[in-house]
Amino acid sequence: MASKIPRIEAREQDPRQRAMNFDEVSFGFTEAEARAEAGRCLQCKNRPCVAACPVHIQIPEFILAVRDGRVGEAGEIISRDSLLPSVCGRVCPQEVQCEGSCVLGIKGRSVNIGKLERFVGDSELAEKPLERSRVVPNSHKVAIVGSGPAGLTCAADLARMGYGVTIFEALHRAGGVLVYGIPEFRLPKTAVVEREIAKLRALGVHIETDVVVGRTITIDRLQQEYDAVFVGSGAGLPNFMGIAGENLNGVLSANEFLTRVNLMGAYKKDSDTPIYVGSKTVVVGGGNVAMDAVRVAKRLGSEATIMYRRGEEELPARKEEVHHAREEGVEFRMLANPVEILGDERGWVRGVRCVRMELGEADASGRRSPVVVEGSEFEVECDCVVMALGTSPNPLIARTTSGLVVGRRGTLVVSDDGATSRPGVFAGGDAVSGAATVILAMGAGRTAARAIDKYIRGV
């Protein structure tokens, strides 16, 4: 019976080798592996996996198509609900979404939905180069601010509906966090992200890079030229702890560290982007950003440690990334929190003074809060500290645009369909939710595209 067959895992680079290079960790499925894994799916009538996917991809249907060797059709099925299968198949937190609800998961053998989606997305057979010819253009134009997953999805959906779409991106390369945050060894930029963006250009979407909306051009001005505006500007402003020593040389935000490496290619031998790498790096935080930063530090030759104030169970990063980091030799210091970053006489980091933590009572969300253990101070020696403590939306757009209601953490306030308080301006993704996930940003871009269409058509 299908459920008795063990789950097929994709082959991976050897941990000792990959800890020294930036090549992708997982090789993904071969066609034979994909078809065999697809054959394990029970094609459940109640479809719990579909309900648990934020964009409700028709999972049993696409898996059946893979099983029967109809990869192009599988691509068609996924593309009804998701623009970026090669991306989501790689970075979605599947264990708490689709795979987390798979009936085979009860015995720890959930169908490997993520790797199947990646296989379909990566397959040339799933390409649809002629899509533009199916679009019936209308005379309306929409401006999109930001080229992350929210902006890209909103742009693609509107372009398919016939709108003339222009994306304005502050950086010199499109893709948002997919290009500046998530490292090459998890998400290859040229092979995956640029290929997905090329599909968007093929749909007729125009992308203008190096345009900072709020500086180079205002929302007021965009609204004079376009029928509607979507703001998908993300949450790229790093948070710090506000402790002594954060201004020392050798203290970086994960955002800057990862941007230098990923977007500016600082890890390449011929790169002229400067990057500081210590011999001992402490990364403070426990989310995906922290895991990416610590694994990058390791690859750049540093001893690398995660410091997190809660326990292993509470680590918010994807399980697969934590597992990979451990395999690569990253050290984990759980239940510890910095209280001061220590400097030497030249103003460089020489260590971190920390306290031990224990988990107290659960709060309203059910999460146990970390509490300082009295008299537990200790020091950790290091020459680089990377802060990965979450991010907030950059306030630039809200400050330069009247009539936008902003929430407590700088997020834009929108109604269920993504409409902001300013008529004709919609928003979604991390700019609205605060730092979240790729698939949620894509879902928000899609919701807003539908609302923008209704707004322009006046229905």
- Token pair listed for 8: 């097929």
Does the footprint of ligand SF4 cover residue 48 (CB under 6 A)?
yes
For the chain, the first-to-last Cα distance in angstroms comes to: 51
Does the footprint of ligand FAD cover residue 149 (CB under 6 A)?
yes
Distance of CA 180 to the CA centre of its chain: 10
Q: Which does 48 bind (CB under 5 to 8 A by kind): ligand SF4, ligand FAD, none?
A: ligand SF4
Q: Report in angstroms the alpha-carbon separations of 231 from 30, 119, 144, 157, 168.
A: 39, 31, 6, 15, 10
Does the footprint of ligand FAD cover residue 426 (CB under 6 A)?
no
Does the footprint of ligand SF4 cover residue 5 (CB under 6 A)?
no
Residues near 38 by beta carbon (within 8 Å), at least 6 away in sequence:
63, 64, 66, 67, 111, 116
- Phi/psi for 248 (5° steps) reads -65, 155
Subset of residues 414 to 433 that bind ligand SF4, contact rule: CB under 6 A: none
Query: Nearer to ligand FAD by C-beta: 250 or 285?
Result: 285
Q: Which does 169 bind (CB under 5 to 8 A by kind): ligand SF4, ligand FAD, none?
A: ligand FAD
Beta-carbon count within 10 A of 281 CB: 29
Binding mask 114-153 for ligand SF4 (x = CB under 6 A): x--x------------------------------------
Binding mask 432-451 for ligand SF4 (x = CB under 6 A): -------x------------
Does the footprint of ligand FAD cover residue 92 (CB under 6 A)?
yes
CA dihedral over 448, 449, 455, 458, signed as positive or negative: negative
CA distance 317 to 376: 27
Which segment (84-92, 120-128, 371-379, 445-453) binds ligand SF4 by CB under 6 A? 84-92
Q: Which of helix, strand or coil describes residue 147?
A: coil
Closest approach, Cβ 359 to ligand FAD, in A, equals 25
Q: Which does 359 bind (CB under 5 to 8 A by kind): ligand SF4, ligand FAD, none?
A: none
Subset of residues 163 to 192 that bind ligand SF4, contact rule: CB under 6 A: none
Residues near 1 by beta carbon (within 8 Å), at least 6 away in sequence:
none
Does the footprint of ligand FAD cover residue 85 (CB under 6 A)?
no
Q: Report in angstroms the alpha-carbon separations of 77 from 74, 117, 126, 255.
A: 5, 11, 10, 35
Closest approach, Cβ 346 to ligand FAD, in A, equals 30
Which residue in the block uniquely carries the two structure tokens 């309900």?
A: 51
Does the footprint of ligand FAD cover residue 230 (CB under 6 A)?
no
Q: Which does 411 bind (CB under 5 to 8 A by kind): ligand FAD, ligand SF4, none?
A: none
Positions touching ligand SF4 (CB under 6 A) are 41-44, 47-49, 53, 55, 57, 59-60, 82, 88-89, 92, 94, 97-98, 102-104, 111, 113-114, 117, 439
